[in-house]
Structures are given as C-alpha cells and as structure tokens.
Structure 1
Amino acid sequence: MTYSPETPACLHVQRWLDDMVIGHNFCPFARFVRDQQRIRFVDIASSDMARVLEALHDEFLHLDTTSHTSTTLMVLSDGWQQFDDYLMLVDVAQQSLNHWGYEGEYQLASFHPYYLFAGEAENAPSHFTNRAPHPVIHIIREAEMEQALAHHPDPESIPQTNIDTTETLGEAALRAQLRACKAPR
C-alpha cells in the first residue's frame, strides 16, 4: 500500500475527481472536501484480495484516528480491471465492513473504468457517473454524508440530474474526457 497522492494512478484519479466528478457536479459534496484537502488518496498496487482487504481495514483505522480526513479513495492500480472480479471484491469489502463492526459508521462507493449499471444499455452515458480511470473503492464517513445531505435542497434529484448531465454531454465526449484523465500533462 502506498499513501501518496503522487503515484500515476492517484494523479489520474485526482484529475478525474476534479474534471469529471466536480467538473460536472456528479457529487455536489465533493468540491468542499477537495478544496479543504480532506480527501486521502491511497494507491493499492495489488491484485490479491486479502491484501486489498487488509488495506481497507488499515484505512478504517486511519479514519478512526484522523478526523481531518473526510474520505479515502483507494485506487486499485494493479489488477481488478475485470468488472465482475471488481464487483466480487466490492461485495467482500462490504461484508468485511459489516464483520469489522463499521456498518453505520462508514459506507463504500465503487467506481471502475468499465462500470455498468444493471438494466442500462452498454453505451448509456449514465455509466460515466461511476466510471473512473482506475478501479476505486471510496470510503465515506456516514455522519458527514448525512450532514451534507441534510444541507442539500433536493438530494433525491441528484441521480436524475446526473443522468441528464451525462445525456447532454454524450457518451463519446465522456469517454474522451475519462481517457484524458490518464494522459500525460
């Protein structure tokens, strides 16, 4: 595990966060924690599930003891490119979160270069709300999320607003923008 926002994979995910997630307002709460430098980026260069779960547990412990960190983006820079394998990892990660007693304290969100929402056409632009340049497991503090949602005028509208935004932008433009997150700068 590497705690360094300077690895290539973490830099790609930072660009994606800035350009796509914040840029298109897919998550109306991301800008605040990004501007406050409260996001931790961790590069997990392992295709071994046990190693990734160990890193996940380490991140829970970090969040337990570091109140300044609002959220962690675990960037899986080695392996996990097969979406079905990644979904299995996320499922086991969720089970582990529950087993370790963190249910209600943290929640997991998932992002993947080939993310597909069930029931959506394969080329639907809406998939890009959850597509990232590398597989990512996002750890969110539930209390902070509840607080942010309480201050949003209409949190139920966020998913539809995101779908509308992606449809306006179009699949080709979103694909190009995601690809650009990995381009040398």
Structure 2
Amino acid sequence: MTVPATTPEQVTGAMHRWLERAVIGLNLCPFAKAVHVKGQVHVAVCSASAFGDVLEALDAELTELLAQDAEQRDTTLLVVPQGFDEFLLFLDLVRAGERLVSRRGLDGVVQLASFHPAYVFGGADPADPANASNRAPYPTLHLLREASIDRAVAAFPEAEAIFGANVAKLRDLGADGWAALGVGPA
C-alpha cells in the first residue's frame, strides 16, 4: 500500500515530493506553500511500528515543535512508514494521538491532522479520487499550530470552500492524473 523505501532519507524525499507536487502543486492547501518555502515544515520519520513507540515519538515531536518559534518550525509531519498500512488501525493511532494532545493540555494550541495512502472519507467510495486530498505516500500524523491555522484562515476569506474545491479538482484530475504526479496511491 505504501511507497517502498528503505531509508529515512528516501521516506523524507517521498514526502517532500508529495508536498511539492500534490499539496502545493495542486494547491490542495493554500497555506502550505508559504511555510514550505520558508523551511518551516519539519518531516520526522518514525521507524517504530508499535502504538506505544509511535505515541512516544509523537509526544517528543510535540515537545520539539512547541520548543521552537513558529518562524523556525511551524508544522511537523511525523511519518510512520512501518506497521500502519491498514487504514482502520491507523485511525486508532490518530485517535490515540488526539488523546495525547488533550492529555497534554494542548487542545486549542496544536491540532492533529492525518494522511494515509489508503485514506477514505467516512461514507465515501474508496475509489473516489476526492480521497486523495488526504492521501500521502506513508501514514502521517500532522502537527499544526492552532495560531498558525487561525492566521492562515483569516488571510483566506473563504477557507471553508477549500474542501469542495479540492473534491472537484481531484475528481477532474482522476486516478490517472494523480498517478502521473508520482506521489503514491490514488
């Protein structure tokens, strides 16, 4: 299901390609380009495949993100290339990560988003190209600063329209168009 890789460098390279070609290239997230260009996106690769170990890595990345000024590190992608190929198992990990954020008292400070090569929105057909808006080469936990989200949304007056525009764009692109990007499964 995931893109094969043998080293953290290969995983990081695949994630940067996805970020540049899909997220920024297709403008799936109009806020991503600015932080990427400024070098404020940190990609961390977690080689663990057990829940507890991944949650420890997530906790460490939370600490590291908040220890740095947003001008240095605005967001973190924690990539988990092993052990979470099954989408439903990954969703359990996401829920555990959200509980970790809450236990640390970081609700309203940090938001946890997620990406997965087999991402399917609730009730959607797995073959719907719109699912690609949350598909990445590897299972990924995305730590976002709420303050940065608030600033970005304030600068983008119709932020609620992003999802609908992405659905239309990805359906027009189709599975073959997504595959041509070379960023992972459609």
TM-score, normalized by length of structure 2? 0.91
CA distance in 2, matches of 1:85, 1:149: 31
Which segments of 5 or more consecutive residues in structure 2 lack a partner in the other structure? Answer: 1-6
The answer on 1:88 being equivalent to 2:92 is yes
Post-superposition CA distance 1:14-62 (Å, at most 9, x none): 1000000000000000000000000101000111111111111111111
Q: 1:56 is matched with which residue?
A: 58
The answer on 1:166 being equivalent to 2:162 is no
CA distance in 2, matches of 1:130, 1:75: 14
Which of 113, 126, 129 is matched with 2:133 structurally? 129
SS at match of 2:77: strand
Q: 2:15 is matched with which residue?
A: 13
Which of 98, 104, 107 is matched with 2:108 structurally? 104
CA distance in 1, matches of 2:47, 2:162: 32
Q: 1:25 is matched with which residue?
A: 27
Deviation at 1:63, TM superposition (A): 1.4
Q: Which amino acid aligns with 1:99?
A: R
**Number of aligned pairs?**
176
Which of 133, 138, 147 is matched with 2:142 structurally? 138
Q: CA RMSD in A?
A: 1.4
Q: 1:116 is matched with which residue?
A: 120
Q: Which amino acid aligns with 1:152?
A: F
CA distance in 2, matches of 1:141, 1:161: 24
Deviates more, 1:6-15 or 1:19-28: 6-15
CA distance in 2, matches of 1:81, 1:181: 16
Q: Which amino acid aligns with 1:171?
A: A
Q: Which amino acid aligns with 1:30?
A: A
Deviation at 1:6, TM superposition (A): 6.1
Q: List structure 1 runs of 4+ shifted beyond 4 angstroms.
A: none
CA distance in 2, matches of 1:105, 1:123: 35
Give the % identical residues. 34
Deviation at 1:88, TM superposition (A): 0.3
CA distance in 2, matches of 1:175, 1:137: 23
CA distance in 1, matches of 2:180, 2:21: 12
Post-superposition CA distance 1:126-155 (Å, at most 9, x none): 000000010100000000100100010211
Deviation at 1:181, TM superposition (A): 2.9
TM-score, normalized by length of structure 1? 0.91
Deviation at 1:175, TM superposition (A): 3.5
